[in-house]
Structure 1
Amino acid sequence: MIQSVASLGINYIAFLAVNALLAPLGWPNWIRYNAALGISGATSSISSFLFIKYLVFREMNALGERYH
């Protein structure tokens, strides 16, 4: 539950930030929104991966075990 809320928040904040950074370029809104959506989706996916790797499976990381 915490991971999903954090990923949603990261996605939302990244979308707003990228959209604001691209606004001065004068691109059409649909290009700006799609670029911001793609970048925020990638950021959210990377953060989910890191949450799973370092928080969910932290005991396995401490033991040095891996999935085969």
Structure 2
Amino acid sequence: MDYSIIKERRTLLGLTQQDLADYTGVSLRIIKSIEAGKGNPSVSTLSKIAEVLGLELRLQIREVAK
């Protein structure tokens, strides 16, 4: 999954990673790992980030080939 939209939106809004951590209640370490593409955030964490950044979180269930 590509989380680059989080960093792009955060930067566009003039927020630091620390700002985002403070506003969401998510640790700075987790924010950094998500933006680096190394995190595996929960839906709850992504929802908090999306809300602060004015983004929409969409969940889609993929059909698995049989």
TM-score (norm 2): 0.31
TM-score (norm 1): 0.30
State the structure with bigger RCO (CA 8 A, min sep 6), 1 or 2: 1
Structure with greater helix share of residues: 1
